[in-house]
Amino acid sequence: MKLSFFKYQGVGNDFIMVDNRDLSFNHYQPKILEQICDRRFGVGGDGIMFLESAESFDFKMVYYNADGQPSSMCGNGGRCIVAFAKHLGIIESETNFVAVDGPHYAKIAESGDWVSLQMIDVEVVRKDGDAYVINTGSPHYIKFDLTITDKNVFEEGRAIRYNDTYKEEGININFVEDKGDHLFVRTYERGVEDETYACGTGVTAVALANAIAKNQTGKIETPIKVLGGELNIRFDYDGKKFTNIFLEGPVKMVFEGELEA
């Protein structure tokens, strides 16, 4: 069958979007989805998502990683699907939608190129040596380093992702450099199994870990740079729980097309 799709990107995280409100496409087909996401033999993307109808919500976000397997929450993907919903005329400036980790609120600029997405509250933070382990809808291992520009993120990230602790369920690896006025983050993503240009749940986890490391509380705003551009994280922290967490940044529709699937 012919599958109509749209390609979106948020600071270099790129996603294939499909309007599946009529449920005409059976998306649990890992090999087909993996081929669609392949950058040589398909459209190419860090993941593929299906916008579907959901009772009591504007829409439902169904997300698969580039390996064709169902995924946990994707922050930049969530921002992109909000822009997609606006393009389809489902929403205007605000939305409440549901994803795999529960309900999300988001606000989108009138221009459609900037999305502020509310993430889930976070209360549990673990330490693994000098690293932080935080789940912001997806699990993240956060390591602060003095410099990460020349770091081999693929090799070092893969070694942690597949060590005895994390190999079964997998984890995303975030390396962080404090630049003073912002944090610079590079990420190895499970499911993609490579470094990506950005990771929304990852930079969110990094901002929370940074607040703990610096003993910050109250209303906090953390500018972050990734390989694909700039993002902003803002949240409240009372020393025990993170609430009102927002992931903010640009989104862009790249192109639309059709393929045989």
CATH code for the domain defined by 2-119+251-260 = 3.10.310.10
Indicate the pTM of the whole model.
0.96
Give the tens place of pLDDT for each residue, 46-96: 999 999 999 999 999 999 999 999 999 999 999 999 999 999 999 999 999
With pLDDT > 90 as the criterion, what percentage of the chain qualifies?
98
Catalytic residue (one of 49, 85, 199, 231): 199
1 confidence band (pLDDT: 50, 70, 90): confident
**199 flagged as catalytic:** yes
Catalytic residue (one of 48, 73, 74, 176): 74
d(CA 201, CA 198): 9
The secondary element (H helix, E strand) that includes residue 92 is none
Q: Is the CATH number 2.40.10.10 carried by domain 125-245? A: no
d(CA 194, CA 157): 8
Cβ-contact 61, 77 below 8 angstroms: yes
Q: Which segments of the chain belong to CATH 3.10.310.10?
A: 2-119+251-260, 125-245
**74 flagged as catalytic:** yes
